[in-house]
Amino acid sequence: MGKITYKRLKGSQNMRQRLLLATLKSTPVLIEDIHAGDTLPGLRPHEISLLRLFEKLTDDCLIEINETGTKLKYKPGIIVGGSHLVHDCGFSRAIGYFLEPLILLGLFARKTLVIILKGITNDSKDPSVDTFRSTTFPLLRHFGVPSEGLKLEIKSRGVSPHGGGEVHLTIPTVQHLTATMWTDEGMVKRIRGEAFTTRVSVQLGNEMIYAARGIFNRLLPDVYIASDYRKRLEAGNSPGYGISLVAETTSGCCISADTTVSYPRGDEEEDIEDEGKKELIPAADVGEELASVLLEEIEKGGVVDSTHQGLLFLLCALCPKDVSKVRVGKLSPYGIETLREIRDFLDVQFVIKPDPSTGTVILKCWGSGMKNLSRKTT
C-alpha cells in the first residue's frame, strides 16, 4: 500500500477519458509512448492545457512529464472545483474539447465550479459551446443533475486560428447521479438552432439559416434558427461563421449537430493561408450540409447524437449501483473507445444489444456506485 502502483497505459488516445476516469476513481496512471513516433514527439499543446486544467481543479495532484513529453505520470488528487478560476485553452483545440471532461469533473467536485474558459468557442472538430448549452445540459438532467445550477454564458465568440472567445461555465455538484431508463427516443417535434458570424457579414448567417430551413421545411414546420451576429470585442480575433442545430423530440431527447467554417490554424500552414482564405465553403452550402447531418443523426436514432455517446456512457457508468438502460444509434468510434476505458477503469461492462428493427443499439449497465466523495459533510 505504501508504494503507488501506477496503471500503465500507452499512447495519447482517449487522453481525456483516461484522465477523467483516473481522477474520478483516483487511480494513478502512467501513460507511455505519447506520440513517440511522430516528428514532433510528446504531448500536444491541448493535452498539456488539459493537464493544467486538471491540476487547477484538483487538490494536490501530481503530474510528471519526461523531457521529451512522451511519458506522463499522473497521480490524481481530490477534485476541489471552486469559483474564480480562469483557464486559457489555447488555440490547438476548441473549448468543447475541455468542456466534455470538465462537466463530469465539476459534478463530482467539492465546491460548485465556476470557471472562465478562453480560447476557441466554435470549431469543426469539437462540439461547439452552443451544443453544450442546448443539448448536453438537458442530457445531464436525465441523470438527476439539477438544471438550475448549470450555466454556460458565451461572453465572446472566437474561432480558429486566433480564438479570442470566452465562456463562463458554472456546474453544480451532486451527491450522486441517478440511474436512468432512457430508451424512448420519441419523435422530433421542433428544431432550434443558432447561426453565428464573427468578423464577417451578417448576411452569411442569414444565408445559412435560409439554406437549413429549406431542408427542414419539408419535414417539420416548427423550425426556428436564431442568428447571432457578433461585433468588435465579442467577435474574437478571427473571422468565421457556423451553425448549430438541435432537434428536440417528444420525449425530451436533444439531437444536435454543429459546424464552423473558419481559416485553418497552424504555423506551418501560414504560407498556404493566403490562398486558403478564398477557400471557405459558401455559407449556403454549410447550412444545407449541416441540416443534412442533423437529419442523418435523426435517422440513426437513439436518445443522443453520436457526439454525445461517450458522455452518455460515462454518465451511465458513474451512476449508483442500479441498472441504466439507454438507446443510441450506431456506436461511434469515440463511444466504443469510451466503453473500453470505462471497462478498464471502473470495471463496468455494458450489455450491448442491437435492435435490428430500428438500427439502434440498446446498452445496459450496472452503475459503478460512484459517489461524490470529495464533498464535505457537515
> Which residues in 195-254 contact another protein (CB under 8 A)?
215, 218-221, 250-252
* 3-class secondary-structure state, position 237: coil
Which of residues 82, 138, 149, 301 is near another protein by CB under 8 A? Answer: 301
Q: How far is the CB of 214 from another protein (least distance, A)?
A: 8
Q: Which stretch binds another protein (CB under 8 A): 57-65, 147-155, 165-173, 261-269?
A: 57-65
CB 364 within 8 Å of CB 351 = yes
Cβ closest to another protein, residue 121 vs residue 309? 309
17 belongs to the binding site for another protein (CB under 8 A): yes
Q: Does 311 bind another protein (CB under 8 A)?
A: yes
> Quick check: 40 binds another protein (CB under 8 A)?
no
Of 150 and 298, the one with the shorter C-beta distance to another protein is 298
CB of 232 to another protein, least distance (A): 30
Closer to another protein by Cβ: residue 38 or 269: 38
Q: Which residues pair with 225 in a beta bridge?
A: 193
Kindly tell me which of 171 and 346 has the beta carbon lying closer to another protein: 346
Answer whether 101's CB lies under 8 Å from 276's CB. Answer: no
Helix or strand run (H / E) with residue 325: strand 323-328
Residue 53: closest CA among 83, 88, 77, 26: 88
Helix (H) and strand (E) counts in the chain: 10, 18
Q: How far is CA 374 from each of CA 4, 149, 165, rounded to the nearest angstrom?
A: 20, 19, 31
Residue from 91, 307, 315, 316 touching another protein (CB under 8 A): that is: 307
Of positions 20, 54, 310, 328, contacts another protein by CB under 8 A? 310
Q: Show contacts with another protein in window 263-282 (CB under 8 A).
A: none
39 binds another protein (CB under 8 A): no
Footprint on residues 89-148 left by another protein (CB under 8 A)? 100, 110, 124-127, 142, 144
Is residue 194 at the binding interface for another protein, with CB under 8 A as the rule?
no
3-class SS of residue 156: strand
Compute the least distance from the CB of residue 115 to another protein, in Å: 20
160 binds another protein (CB under 8 A): no
Q: Are 245 and 195 in contact (CB under 8 A)?
A: no
| Backbone φ, ψ for residue 81 (5° rounding) | 75, -140
- Cell, residue 159: 474561432
Neighbours of 333 (CB within 10 A): 10
In three-state secondary structure terms, 367 is coil
What Rg, from alpha-carbon coordinates, does the chain have?
21
Is 316 a binding residue for another protein by CB under 8 A? The answer is no
Whichever of 8 and 232 has its CB closer to another protein, that residue is: 8
